[in-house]
Amino acid sequence: MRLVLDTNTAISGLLWQGTPGKLIDAAHAKSVSLFTSAELLAELRGVLTREKFARQLETRGLNAIDVFDGYAALTTIIVPAIIQPTIVNDPSDDAVLACALGAKAEIIVSGDRHLLDLEEHRGIRIVTAAEAVRIVTATKRKETPG
């Protein structure tokens, strides 16, 4: 399954053990494929270096560069599609849509209301991390004979 994680979901998955972390784990296990773009990676790098994440990184014995490099290595970096402006209230979210289209992703995973309110974009579902985990788990069950 081809996924694009919005930066908020990637951060949550990388720094905390909750539901978004299960998507990172699924990518490590090669149960899903994660796709990103240079623009989304630049946003991730900027967010990871914010002071508010320093304590969480330190608590886990990590640094922003190592977390960033690990995520970049886990993803496939694609050239985003060129799209018309779509999310008027938060135009930066268009980068997520463009990445997903360029990646031919099946799902965008986000906690951002502007994206979630769309529900889908040009055939790509837009869901929360919890819903994505349910979809990935259900798909894995169907593929595993038993």
- C-alpha angle with apex 8: 62 to 14, nearest 5 degrees? 25
pLDDT in tens, 87-143: 988 999 999 999 999 999 999 999 999 999 999 999 999 999 999 999 999 987 877
Chain mean position to CA 79: 16
- C-alpha angle with apex 131: 47 to 23, nearest 5 degrees? 50
Instruction: Write down the pLDDT at residue 123.
Output: 97
Instruction: Write down the pLDDT at residue 142.
Output: 79
Do 33 and 132 meet the contact criterion of CB atoms below 8 Å apart?
Answer: no
Chain mean position to CA 2: 10
Give the CATH superfamily of 2-143: 5'-nuclease (3.40.50.1010)
Instruction: Write down the pLDDT at residue 146.
Output: 56
Domain segments of the chain: what residues? 2-143
Tokens of 64: 């922003």
pLDDT in tens, 21-64: 999 999 999 999 999 999 999 999 999 999 999 888 998 899 99
Instruction: Write down the pLDDT at residue 140.
Output: 79
Provide the 8-state DSSP code for 81: P
Which residues have CB under 8 Å from 41's CB, separation 6+? 68, 72, 75, 77
Query: How much is the pTM?
Result: 0.94
